[in-house]
């Protein structure tokens, strides 16, 4: 596969994950607000009729912010606190949009949401997006902590400076290398 094709698949997966995470957070907030958990087709249709405009606005803003903040192009093996702050920023912006839409929509009877819905939606979106972007790092850490390291050769790197740090990061980021830095 060519690099362009791999990048296109990665971007598509990130976009789909972000849109599905947004939809799930809307759904969770909708059911928290309505105090009934029923997955009947009538409730699902009510949900989509009521939330489609706000969802589409949030999807557009989410995709624009993913591109502008560079989260669409980040290396998922090396995500850090910077990406977490960007995800938090996106969540705050979408909270503000939902809150403004709630105030305007309530006056015009467009939508029936409140501040509780906005908070629940934003919190669940923050959790879902964070898990999505940090899943590779979390799984690598879990594998490091709980996995068997007996078959790897324990190696000490002494006096490497900046090059040694880069070497250790590269060793830890690749599963194919049978070396365990200590």
Q: What is the pLDDT of residues 22-60, one digit of tens each?
A: 999 988 887 777 766 555 555 667 777 778 888 899 999
**CA-CA-CA-CA torsion sign (131, 134, 140, 141):** negative
Rounded-to-integer distance, Cα 145 and Cα 130, Å: 21
DSSP 52-84: HHHHHHHHHHHHHHHHHTTGGGS-GGG--HHHH
Say which range, 41-45, 65-69, 115-119, 142-146, has the weakest mean pLDDT.
41-45
CA 137-142-145 angle, 5° bins: 125
Provide the mean pLDDT of the chain.
Answer: 84
Q: What's the confidence (pLDDT) of residue 137? A: 81
**CA-CA-CA-CA torsion sign (172, 177, 178, 179):** negative
Task: Report which of 106, 6, 1 is spatially closest to residue 54, judged by C-alpha positions.
Answer: 106
Q: Let me know: does 61 contact 94? Beta carbons within 8 Å.
A: yes
Strand pairing partners for 179? 153
- Domain boundaries in the chain? 3-147, 148-182
Say which range, 39-43, 73-77, 81-85, 173-177, has the weakest mean pLDDT.
39-43
Rounded-to-integer distance, Cα 54 and Cα 118, Å: 11
């Amino acid at each position: 596969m060519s690099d362009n094709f791999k990048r296109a698949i990665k971007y598509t997966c990130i976009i789909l994950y972000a849109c599905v995470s947004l939809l799930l957070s809307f759904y969770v907030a909708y059911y928290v607000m309505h105090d009934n958990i029923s997955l009947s087709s009538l409730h699902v249709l009510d949900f989509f009729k009521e939330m489609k405009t706000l969802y589409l606005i949030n999807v557009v803003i989410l995709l624009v912010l993913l591109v502008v903040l560079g989260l669409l192009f980040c290396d998922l093996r090396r995500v850090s606190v910077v990406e977490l702050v960007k995800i938090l920023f996106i969540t705050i912006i979408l909270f503000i949009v939902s809150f403004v839409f709630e105030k305007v929509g309530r006056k015009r009877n467009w939508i029936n949401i409140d501040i509780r819905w906005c908070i629940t939606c934003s919190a669940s979106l923050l959790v879902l997006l964070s898990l999505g972007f940090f899943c590779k790092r979390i799984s690598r850490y879990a594998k490091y902590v709980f996995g068997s390291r007996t078959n790897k050769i324990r190696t000490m790197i002494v006096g490497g400076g900046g090059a040694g740090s880069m070497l250790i990061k590269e060793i830890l980021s690749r599963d194919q290398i049978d070396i365990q830095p200590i």
